[in-house]
Amino acid sequence: MEMIQVYECAHCEKKFVQRKWICPNCKNNEFLQKNISGEGKIFSHTTIHVSSKEFSHLTPYSVALIELSEGLRVIGRVTDQVAIDDKVKCISYFDNTFVFEKC
């Protein structure tokens, strides 16, 4: 399982997947890098049947909004057929793309 790197506000401990310069929650500007588990559940998903030329070799493929165990939500590609609330885990992160598979 791949760990997911997040940025945690040093003041209010709110976590973000993308790097922030100022915490929108408390306006602090200090962040810590942390690794969290890549486990979560499917919040929403769709299957792409027609894609742009650069992704045509992947079609059909599924993309999902994953709610991680820590409460963050990320978008990633899913290797299996999934349904809402299915448990998934991150298996890779490459070229700014998370890839998940069913647990």
pTM of the model: 0.87
DSSP-based three-state secondary structure for 53: helix
How would residue 65 be classed by pLDDT, with cut points 50, 70 and 90? very high
How would residue 48 be classed by pLDDT, with cut points 50, 70 and 90? very high
Is 90 exceeded by the pLDDT of residue 1? no
Percent of the chain with pLDDT over 90: 92
Could you tell me how far CA 39 lies from the centroid of its own chain? 10
88-98 pLDDT, tens digit each: 999 999 888 99
pLDDT at residue 90, rounded to an integer: 97
Find the distance separating the first CA and the last CA of the chain, reported in whole Å: 10
12-33 pLDDT, tens digit each: 999 999 999 999 999 999 999 9
Could you tell me how far CA 24 lies from the centroid of its own chain? 20
- For residues 31 and 10, give the distance between their C-alpha atoms in angstroms, rounded to a whole number: 5
pLDDT at residue 55, rounded to an integer: 87
pLDDT at residue 40, rounded to an integer: 97
